[in-house]
Chain A
Amino acid sequence: MIFQDYVFYSLAAILLFAGLRVITARNPVHAALFLVLAFFTTAGIWLMLEAEFLAIVLVLVYVGAVMVLFLFVVMMLDINLEKLKEGFWEAIIPALIVGGFMCAEMIMVLGAKHFGLDRVSAPVPHPAGYSNTAELGRQLYTDYLLPFELAAVVLLVAMIAAIALTLRRRKDSKYINPVDQINIKRADRVRMVSMQSFKEPTQAPDNKEQG
């Protein structure tokens, strides 16, 4: 075994462990954090495949952005674990059947028949000056330009739709336009009155006799 093998097997072991814990962790926040670990470890494995651009983008997008928002939601949910586990044993038979079918389908597609060692040749190591980033960019913006742009537009539409669906303007919100706030002048708030600083004492009431 060479050094890379050790790295691969330790990463793979961590990845499997993290993946298992995602579905077995009792606490959803822990599950989400294990998912983060799984993404991060996957990025490590991709780095070993010399796909450094994809690996870094996986960390940047999924770990750095998607999972953060995911955690936001999961953390703020008030989840009753007992209630969640209710009916587990009633549902296990259909779950096993569905899960079994999914497994069988995936084995049929991804099994050794199509992705075995004899089918997929070992990747050729690239020369030192090879830039995965530049190659990927060239592919995306020449051969796959149209699908790439289409995917981008679809994502944009989905994003706008999600924002439009959730946008509710509250009627009772005390919104202040920041532009108005910045453009406020002294004259709008304070009225300067020109008045004498000294006032003539006009026949002060003589208190001495009373008090």
Chain B
Amino acid sequence: MEFFEPIMTWLQHQSWWAAFILTSWTIIKIIAIVLPLMGALAYLTLAERKVIGYMQVRIGPNRVGYFGLLQPIADGVKLLFKEIIQPTASNKFLFFLGPVLAMAPALAAWAVVPFDLNLILANIDAGLLYILAMTSIGVYGVIIAGWASNSKYAFLGSLRSAAQIVSYEIAMGFALVGVLMSAGSLNLGKIVLAQSGGFWQWYWLPLFPLFIVYFISAVAETNRAPFDVAEGESEIVGFHVEYSGMAFAMFFLAEYANMILVCTLAALMFLGGWLSPLPFLPDGFPWLLLKVAFMLFFMLWFRATFPRYRYDQIMRLGWKVFIPITLVWIVVVGGLMQTPLAYLFH
């Protein structure tokens, strides 16, 4: 140990070495986030099939591995070995850029998600804005995929999906404005800490309309049922009709990654993140996991329950119902914060 000490101090004084250490340490942390996330979204597909299966009095996948536990791996291998067909007259570069642009922002947004008090990759001050910015880039995957396919069906589908995503982003953003008004910060860790004090202190209660609007918008934003016009079997003009094999799987994975992301955001913004619901229980990462799983279960439940929305009604719900609700509630929150009731929104 004494032998290495001078070498280590010398190395630490070299700026390139410090940069190298910082970079490699950050990459290790990124891997520590992305790998479990990949596993989670693989098994979310299994959970979805199981949950919907039991809701429809079936048992879901149960052949590959015990309880179907190896099913996601089998699916992944199958998709990997499938041929990727590229339409002849498509734009090759953009055609393959589409799936990448769908997936990358969904992963990049995790950089600022706090898993625990100090368990966070980048504790930046404008974390909430960063997440909104990243999720708003995701729409390019949809647009580019639809255009580069050079097929009118894919193009129409991409226009529909993109318009839907852009519209619901506004309602989602306004719902989060209420949260940042209450917390007085854009930093996700501070937003969670502002909710400390147990179940009744979480923001779902004072901001209940915003919570509902946020969650429904999140379902629409991720193109999930009942807003899944992108894969509507009855009217199938999805933006990814021309994709096959792993290229299609990327869109599929991006959808699930986005699902986990919006549910994590819901847990952080409205359900107290890693805080425990009862004040005497210790806080910690398992609580966040539990809350995210709870919200995800709702998403699966929606898919098993609700019939698909008609497209014009999707747009009407976003623009004429949700945006006015959020606008009104933001004014209500702002007004109440000036009254003795301000303790509700601390």
Q: Which residues of A contact B (CB under 8 A)?
A: 2-3, 29, 33, 36, 52-53, 56-57, 59-60, 63-65, 68-69, 71-72, 75, 131-134, 178
Contacts and interface: CB of A to CB of B under 8 A. Distances in A.
A57 B166 CA distance: 16
Contact of A52 (B124, B132, B169): B124
B130 interface: yes
B59 to A, nearest CB: 37
User: Which 9 A-B pairs rank lowest in CB-CB distance, beginning with the nearest?
Assistant: A64-B136, A59-B133, A60-B133, A56-B129, A3-B19, A131-B125, A56-B133, A133-B126, A75-B147
Interface of B: 15-16, 19, 94, 124-126, 129-130, 132-134, 136-137, 139-140, 143-144, 147, 155, 159, 162-163, 166, 169, 186, 313, 316
Secondary structure call for the B interface: helix
Contacts of B137: 59, 63-64
Contacts of A53: 126, 129
Contact of B313 (A33, A131, A178): A178
Contacts of B139: 64, 68
Given A56-B126, A56-B129, A133-B186, A72 B162 contact: yes
Contacts, number: 64
A112 to B, nearest CB: 30
A21 to B, nearest CB: 13
B255 to A, nearest CB: 18
A53 to B, nearest CB: 6
A54 B144 CA distance: 26
A3 B20 CA distance: 10
Contacts of B143: 68, 71-72, 75
Contacts of A59: 133-134, 136-137
B125 A133 contact: yes
Nearest to A2: B15
B150 to A, nearest CB: 11
B125 A132 contact: yes
A183 to B, nearest CB: 15
B136 A65 contact: yes
A131 B129 CA distance: 13
Contacts of A63: 133, 136-137
B101 to A, nearest CB: 10
B322 to A, nearest CB: 14
B22 to A, nearest CB: 9
B49 to A, nearest CB: 33
Contacts of A131: 125
Contacts of A52: 124-126
Given A60-B136, A65-B166, A178-B316, 10 more contacts: A3-B15, A33-B144, A52-B124, A56-B130, A63-B136, A64-B133, A75-B143, A133-B125, A134-B125, A178-B313
Contacts of B19: 3
A100 B91 CA distance: 36
